[in-house]
Structure 1
Amino acid sequence: MFMGEYKHNIDTKGRIIVPSKFRDGLGETFVITRGLDQCLFAYPIDEWHLLEEKLKKLPLTKKDARAFTRFFFSGAVECEVDKQGRINIPASLRKYAVLDKECAVIGVSNRVEIWSDQAWTGYVEESEESFSEIAENMLDIDF
């Protein structure tokens, strides 16, 4: 399980350090793709395969299903962690998530998310105000 929040800078070549606490869980090779809310999602290979199987079951006749799978899979790339613990994020994914300098790398259960620090800070501030309301609207969650 991935959890926690870490701040790292992305360099001019598009490389960012993967927090050491996440490296073991992600493995030497993992998949990174466009996520929701203008961030990137990173999945260990086994989690990626589980997600792939679920998405294959979506009906091809549904326009939203086709659009989502196109969006999700067309942005996906396999990444390898280098000896310094960094990955190289392709330019298209950096552009999508507006990653230019300061980034937030967060653990979210079965995946890691990479955000521009500015977008993450804005998301947290907005979400903090409505966290109780969000929790009330969720079904079957006991804290």
Structure 2
Amino acid sequence: MFYGEYQHTVDPKGRAIVPSKFREGLGEKFIITKGLDCCLFAYSLEEWTSLENKLKTLPFTDKDVRAFIRFFFSGAAECELDKQGRILIPQNLREYAGLEKDIYIIGVSSRVEIWDKTNWQKYNSDDNISADKIAEKMAMLGI
């Protein structure tokens, strides 16, 4: 289980330190891909396999399913931690998420998300992310 919020930077070579609290859960090798809301998602190999198996059960005849699977898998890359606990984030993924220097790495239950600092701050200040509105939506879902 991943939780917490950590500030880091991406160096000029595209490397970022993975918080030590996340390294064990992700493993030495893990998958990073395009996420939703203009961030990156990182999954342990075990969690990635589980997610892949769930996505395989969706009807590939549905155009939206095919589009999502293309989006999700085409951006995927295997990352490996170096001796300093860093990963090299591929250029295409850095561009997708707008990662330039200052980033946030956050834990979200079964995955880790990597956000550009400005995007994370904007997302958190958005009126749609108020605690009251989230609580109302969750209540409608019976949670």
- Do both proteins adopt the same fold according to a TM-score greater than 0.5, normalized to the shorter chain? yes
Question: Residue 83 of structure 2 aligns to a residue in which SS?
Answer: coil
What is the Cα deviation at residue 52 of structure 1?
A: 0.1
Alignment of 1:34-45 (within 5 A): 34-45=34-45
Aligned partner of 1:86 in structure 2 is: 86
Q: What is the identity percentage for the equivalent residue pairs of Structure 1 and Structure 2?
A: 63
CA RMSD of aligned residues (A): 1.1
Question: Residue 99 of structure 1 aligns to a residue in which SS?
Answer: coil
Aligned partner of 2:103 in structure 1 is: 103
Unpaired stretches in structure 1, ≥5 consecutive residues: none
Unpaired stretches in structure 2, ≥5 consecutive residues: none
Structure 1 segments of 4 or more deviating over 3 A? Answer: none
Encode CA deviations 1:10-60: one digit per residue, 9 max, x unaligned. Answer: 011100000000000000000000000000000001100010001111111
What is the Cα deviation at residue 140 of structure 1?
A: 2.4
Alignment of 1:24-35 (within 5 A): 24-35=24-35
Question: Residue 32 of structure 2 aligns to a residue in which SS?
Answer: strand
What is the Cα deviation at residue 135 of structure 1?
A: 1.5
Aligned partner of 1:73 in structure 2 is: 73
Aligned partner of 1:15 in structure 2 is: 15
Structure 1 counterpart of 2:37, one-letter code = D
Distance of aligned partners of 1:140 and 1:93 in 2 relative to their CA distance in 1, 3 Å threshold: same
- Scaled by the length of structure 1, the TM-score of the pair is 0.95
Q: Contact between 2:7 and 2:104, CA under 8 Å: does it hold in 1?
A: yes
Aligned partner of 1:140 in structure 2 is: 142
Q: Contact between 2:123 and 2:129, CA under 8 Å: does it hold in 1?
A: no
Structure 2 counterpart of 1:120, one-letter code = W
- Scaled by the length of structure 2, the TM-score of the pair is 0.95
Structure 1 counterpart of 2:43, one-letter code = Y
Structure 1 counterpart of 2:17, one-letter code = I
What is the Cα deviation at residue 128 of structure 1?
A: 7.4
Distance of aligned partners of 1:127 and 1:6 in 2 relative to their CA distance in 1, 3 Å threshold: farther
Encode CA deviations 1:45-84: one digit per residue, 9 max, x unaligned. Answer: 1100010001111111100000000000000011000000
Distance 2:85 2:129 in 1: 35
Deviates more, 1:126-135 or 1:35-44: 126-135
